[in-house]
Amino acid sequence: MTGPLGLLLGAGSGGGGGSLLSLLHFGGADGSSVITDEVGLTAWTCHGSAGITTAQKVFGTGSLYGDGVGDSITADTSAPFNLVSSDLSVELRFRPRIVPQAGYVCGKTGTNKGWIIYLDNDTLRFYCSSNGSTFDMFNGVAMHSGTLSAATWYAIALTRSGNNFYGFLDGVVTSLGTSSAAIYSNTAAMVIGAAGEAGLSSGVDGNIDEFRLNSGFAYYTSNYTPASSAFTYP
């Protein structure tokens, strides 16, 4: 299935079809607020003190760091990130600096709800709306078994294949349930590190690396081995 932008992903762990909307390695100089998206559909804007740190990384030279207080990055273009009813994959590496804590990891929600990955104390949860007013599709379903620990890198993934939704922690699958509904299309910004229209509140204190989002293809539907090197594009 090819997404509306027709950008095909053919490399990297879990490569397949669909439209790759974003691939962020978070490389660059320590303290930089320049975020390079390999796909190039949108620019990204840093808020607060969010930026590149070279102190923590999975691959490359750095990762994104935010302290959970007004720190996030937002996509300057909103529409491509309305995932609607297509297959999808959201994937990232995540390192919470402290646990427990509560905050948005990434998502596209605001006055009208969309979808969110949220850290609830020591558990990642998925919220998703089809009507824009309530999280009627998924309302805080746990994305994994077990719990997260502080200062530890994790491979996180969320996929949709047909009506089936899956969460992954370090390659281990958790079935989130089924829904035939389309995810609500809103005008909120796509945000990493927080959520909301401006993406300036309720964020997580920690690091994010190797973020990619695909509309039109589910990279994983069962247990997988997380990539041992950075994803490539195209």
Sequence spans of domains, the chain: 21-215
Q: Which two tokens stand for residue 1?
A: 């299935």
Mean pLDDT of 186-205: 80
pLDDT tens string 67-107: 998 899 999 998 889 998 899 999 999 999 999 999 999 99
124 vs 103: CA distance, rounded Å: 10
Q: Which two tokens stand for residue 230?
A: 């950075």
The Cβ-side half-sphere exposure at 231, using a 13 Å CA radius, reads 28
Mean pLDDT of 41-45: 95
129 vs 109: CA distance, rounded Å: 9
Query: In which residue are the tokens 């909301």 written?
Result: 196
| Cis peptide leading into residue 100 (ω within 30°) | yes
Per-residue model confidence (pLDDT) at position 230: 98
Per-residue model confidence (pLDDT) at position 19: 94
Q: 87: exposed, middle or buried (C-beta count within 10 Å: 0-12, 13-18, 19+)?
A: buried
Mean pLDDT of 98-125: 95
CATH class given for the domain over 21-215: mainly beta
CB 8 within 8 A of CB 15: no
Average pLDDT, the chain: 90
Check pLDDT > 50 for residue 12: no
Check pLDDT > 50 for residue 46: yes
Q: Which two tokens stand for residue 128?
A: 């998703």
